[in-house]
Amino acid sequence: MKYNKIGIFDSGMGGLTVLKEMLKRINGLDMVYFGDTARLPYGTKSPDVIKQYTLECSRFLVEQGIDMLVLACNTASAHAISMVRNELNIPVMGVIEAGVKAAVSTGASRIGVIGTTATIKSNTYANAIRAIRPEVDVVSKACPLFVPLVEEGMFDDEVTELVAKRYLEGLISYGIDTLLLGCTHYPLLRGVIGKVMGNGISIVDSAATTAAAVARMVHGEYECKESPDVVYYFTDLTQSYLKLGELVLGRHMDNVIKVDLDGR
């Protein structure tokens, strides 16, 4: 069998939206989640730092025996996926490709992409969409306050709605027909984002589309375990992080381990 253990990496808790969708679709396969909570967020940092951190964390996951890696962080996927693929000898799946495929497959003609400052600056989404369907009109908008708002658990809040209106008004007046959530934190704001965008605009969530792509990839290629392990590694642990993590995941995290990447 090809797969025994999948690694899922994010700068923090956002990637748990991907893991949650994976756990719905993939039964009986061990999974290891890694959140770099001691250095989050990545979305405001430079490409060099994002690459360095992503590679360090990916190598840690390889040491845990994974045979596939999901970069469940759009910022890391946008900046570091080629480098990580070159450095590791296992398949590496990002969150961008699946989201882009789902967005263009709806027959969208004008796509809005939202993400962190680093993701939007990279132009990765716009380039990936144009590579498949050059005639599609793409407009991008960085939404830097969405991650801190999610981290505060303010999923459905007057403040979040006001911020969402500010970020999304340009996309609405530009007349987009599809909105691509280019950050794994954003599915948690789907309610507020949907309310602000109004009816008639498709919202594509890269967490769900990536999980579906991973499920297709491993289907029939692993031995189904009766009690698969899900282990969670974090570089920092606080009660707030854990509370948020369980809220995002919608289940208790049993095997939580703190790891010091510097001290190894």
Query: In this chain, which stretch among 14-22, 40-48, 95-103, 172-180 interacts with a second copy, using CB under 8 A?
Result: 40-48
Please say whether the beta carbons of 116 and 77 come within 8 A: no
Report the C-alpha gap between 21 and 36 in whole angstroms. Answer: 20
In the complex, minimum distance from the CB of residue 221 to a second copy, in angstroms, rounded to a whole number: 37
**Closer Cβ to a second copy, 40 or 98, answer by number:** 40
Opening angle at CA 133, ends 132 and 134, nearest 5: 110
Burial 112-128 (b: 16+ CB within 10 A, else e): bbbbbebbbbbebbbeb
- Return the H-helix or E-strand segment holding 166: helix 158-173
Q: Is residue 240 within the footprint of a second copy (CB under 8 A)?
A: yes
| Window 126-145: contact mask with a second copy (x via CB under 8 A) | ------------------xx
| Residue in 93, 149, 183, 248 binding a second copy, rule: CB under 8 A | 149
| Residue in 1, 132, 159, 224 binding a second copy, rule: CB under 8 A | 159
**Closer Cβ to a second copy, 123 or 202, answer by number:** 123
Restricting to residues 78-107, which ones interact with a second copy according to CB under 8 A?
none
Restricting to residues 175-234, which ones interact with a second copy according to CB under 8 A?
none
Query: In this chain, which stretch among 21-29, 150-158, 180-188, 249-257 interacts with a second copy, using CB under 8 A?
Result: 150-158
Query: What is the CB neighbour count within 10 angstroms for residue 63?
Result: 9
| Residue in 162, 223, 243, 251 binding a second copy, rule: CB under 8 A | 162
| Residue in 4, 52, 64, 202 binding a second copy, rule: CB under 8 A | 52
Both tokens of 219, joined, read 């289907």
For residue 64, with 0-12 CB atoms within 10 Å meaning exposed, 13-18 middle and 19 or more buried, which class applies? middle
Query: What is the CB neighbour count within 10 angstroms for residue 234?
Result: 23
DSSP string, 11-75: SSSTTHHHHHHHHHH--S-EEEEEE-TTT---TTS-HHHHHHHHHHHHHHHHHTT-SEEEE--HH
| Residue in 28, 65, 148, 175 binding a second copy, rule: CB under 8 A | 148
> Catalytic site residue 224?
no
Q: Could you list the residues that contact a second copy (CB under 8 A)?
A: 37-39, 44-46, 48-49, 52, 117, 144-145, 148-149, 151-152, 158-159, 162-163, 166, 235-238, 240, 262
Query: Catalytic residue positions?
Result: 73, 183
